[in-house]
Amino acid sequence: MANVNEYSTRYSVAIDSAQTTLPGEWRVQSVGNKQGSDGYLELSKGDHLTKKETEFQKFASDIYNERLEMGVAREQARKDLPLATYTEAYWKVDLHNLLHFLALRMDDHAQLEIRLFAKTIGEQIVQKWVPNAWEAFVDYRLNALNLTKYDTQIIHAFNTSGKEGAKKKAIELGLLDAEGTTAKKSREREELESKLKDMGFSIPW
């Protein structure tokens, strides 16, 4: 179980600081993962967006402070502050649930910002606090290879019938199109291909 107490802008003035984005940090939406990103925008576009971000955050901050100066209640004055405004939170959690959180948020499919946050917690806090538990977590959970039902069926077909058998099974499972090509987008197939490479197998299609 976890218990979180967060800084409240209803009772206190908002922290006068926000996350900023460097020109080379603006990411492109991933085609295969609706919740993720893949690659970066051109630097010229990033420079434009960073300048706009700076202007927007200053504008929002000025409006917020003006409302406070005019006597508007904090709980109402805060409503247009950007999501990038920093906060503070005090988090109490047991080790079991902390490691479960880190397993989810250090995953490649998690958003970059939360991955970096989770990595810092894991490597700078947990690893130093409980080194033996952290080592076991990395070996048996974080770097473990989990196979789905589709994965095991295709690997079995590959072992018993070679590449053609694996390809046929992939078509049957809908991971390849009817012609056996990868023209059809499939996150399951892409993840399987990554696992096969990790295990030293060649991609059978």
Cα(127)–Cα(156) distance, rounded to whole angstroms? 37
Q: Which of 67, 74, 105, 115 is catalytic?
A: 105
Cα(28)–Cα(37) distance, rounded to whole angstroms? 5
End-to-end CA distance of the chain: 45
Active site residue 105: yes
CA dihedral (161, 162, 168, 170) positive or negative: positive
DSSP, collapsed to helix, strand or coil, labels residue 187 as: helix
Instruction: With beta carbons less than 8 A apart as the criterion, state whether 113 and 36 touch.
Output: no
The residues annotated as belonging to the active site are 105
